[in-house]
Amino acid sequence: MALLSVSDLHVSYGAIKAVKGISFEVNEGEIVTMIGANGAGKSSTMNTIAGLIKPESGQIEFDGQSIVGIKAHQIVDRGIALCPEGRRVFAQMTVDENLDMGGYLHTAQENEEELEVVYEHFPRLRERAGQVAGTLSGGEQQMLAMGRALMSRPKLLMLDEPSMGLAPILVEEIFDIIKQLNEHGTTILLVEQNASMALSIANRGYVLETGRIVKTGTGQDLLHDDDVRKAYLGG
Ligand code: ATP
C-alpha cells in the first residue's frame, strides 16, 4: 500500500483550473520528484496535500486514511510536513525559535530530542542557533525551513523548490542533505525546476504540464527520456 495516494485531484482558483485530475503515489522510503514548468500546478498540488487549499474534487489518502477536508495542523500531526516555496522562515525570530515553532505539537522533551537530530543534519544551524533568521543567507534559510519541517517528525516531507535561488554549490549541499534524510527513513516528495538534480536522486518522477501528469517513470528513465531532456534538461 502506498504511503500517499492521490487520485483524480482537481484544484481551482475561481475560474482558473490549476490541477486537472492528477493521480500519483508515493511509497514508503521513496524519493519522488515532480517536475514541470512554472505554473504547471506543482505547488498547488503540495499545498492541497498539506491542507492549505481545499481541492475541488479528488481523493488524498495518507497511511490508508483520507485526509481531504481535515485541518492543516491535523495533517502535520498525521505525519506530513511541508517545506514551502520561498522558505517563509520567521524573519524576526532566531534559528532556535523558528525550529521550536516546527515542533509546536510536541512536548518540550520531544522537541529537545528532535532539535538534536536537526542539528546533526544541519551543523550550520547549530552554529547560528541564536541568530535572527532574516539575517541568514539563502542557503541557510533553506536549511532552516527544512529543519523546521523536520521538527514535526514527518513520515513524509514535502519540499517545494528547495534549490530556488541558491548557488550551485549550495544546491548540491541541499540535495545531499535530502538524500541523507531519506536514508535515515524519511519519505520525500520533491517539487523542483532543477530537473536534472531532482531526477538524479529520485526513485520515481512525474512530469506535470498545465495541471496534468504527462509522463512518469523511474528517475533514471526520465533523465534519459528525449522529451524530458528537450523540455527540462536543456536538450
Ligand atoms: P511555480 O513553480 O511557478 O510555483 P507551479 O507548478 O508550482 O509553478 P502553481 O503555483 O501550482 O504552479 O500554479 C498553477 C496555476 O494556478 C498557475 O496558472 C497559477 O497562476 C495559478 N495559481 C496559483 N496560485 C493561485 C492563486 N492563489 N490564485 C489564482 N491562481 C493561482
ipTM of the complex, rounded to two decimals: 0.91
pTM for the predicted model, two decimal places = 0.92
| Residue 87 clears pLDDT 80, i.e. is over it | no
- Among 32, 2, 38, CA closest to 18: 38
Q: Give pLDDT tens digits for 167-207.
A: 888 888 899 999 999 999 999 999 998 899 999 999 999 99
Banded pLDDT at 235 (limits 50, 70, 90): low
38 pocket-lining for ligand 1 (C-beta < 6 Å): yes
The cell numbers describing 76, all together, are 502535520
Ligand 1 geometric centre to CA of 158 (Å): 17
Contact yes or no for 214/34 (Cβ under 8 A): no
Cα gap 208→188, rounded to integer Å: 17
Rounded CA separation 148/105 (Å):
12
CB of 39 closer than 6 angstroms to any ligand 1 atom = yes
pLDDT tens string 112-145: 888 888 998 889 899 999 999 999 988 899 999 9
Pocket perturbation via mutation, ligand 1, pick of 10, 17, 43, 193 by most ligand atoms within 8 A of CB: 43
pLDDT for position 168: 86
pLDDT band at 86 (very low <50, low <70, confident <90, very high): confident
User: What is the b/e burial string over 109-138, where b = at least 16 CB atoms within 10 angstroms of the residue's CB?
Assistant: eebeebbeebbeebebbeebeeebbeebee
Q: In this model, does residue 37 exceed pLDDT 70? A: yes
From 86, 2, 98, select the one nearest 46 (Cα to Cα): 86
16 Cβ below 6 A of ligand 1: yes
Does 216 score more than 90 pLDDT? yes
Mean pLDDT of 94-109: 84
Asked if 212 and 204 count as a contact pair (C-beta separation under 8 A), the reply is no
Radius of gyration of the chain (CA): 17
